[in-house]
Amino acid sequence: MGYTGNFDPERMARATGRELHISPKHSVEICRAIRGLPITSAIDLLENVIIKKEAVPFKKYNSMVPHRRRSGYATKGAGPGRYPVKAAKAILRVLKSAQSNADKSIDDLGDTENLRIATAAASRGRVIGGWMPRAHGRWEKFNQDTVNVEIILEIMED
């Protein structure tokens, strides 16, 4: 499986998280929220989501999602949003991995604060099948969804 974005190794760094045990819908909304942001702003947003200080705006999967107060980059007022803590922690790990890949692989990048997120994509991974026992000797399916997350960083043009 390859990456969804174009990759130039002279100007970009990338990282991927395979088969993460997080919600596919939450990961899509988080990736949409951080796409195009400078890396410092994206890290601040994810850390604020983890401590439930700032909500992730839900644009696609927002049926029955309550409105939240927002601060930071989305100051246009309240809208549907949530605090997906587990998905934010997993995507933050992938983002920091991409940042450390940029430190190690590309000498021309210089300071890592000069990076922005060119591509942040989440796709459904493998479904891990399982069963949940019920009363009277019965059972039902209880499957675990997984998610593949990819992040590509590039140098910001001044």
User: In the CATH scheme, what is the code of domain 12-49+85-155?
Assistant: 3.90.470.10
Query: What backbone torsions phi and psi does residue 31 show, to the nearest 5 degrees?
Result: -65, -40
CA dist 5 and 152 (Å) reads: 7
pTM of the predicted structure, to 2 decimals: 0.88
111 close to 156: Cβ distance less than 8 angstroms: no
Yes or no: say if 147 and 16 are a contact pair by the CB < 8 Å rule.
no
Given this model, what pLDDT does residue 113 score? 73
pLDDT 10s digit of each residue in the chain, 158 long?
Answer: 567 777 787 888 899 999 999 999 999 999 999 999 999 999 999 999 999 998 999 989 989 988 877 655 544 566 888 999 999 999 999 999 999 998 887 665 566 678 999 999 999 999 999 999 999 999 999 999 999 999 999 988 76
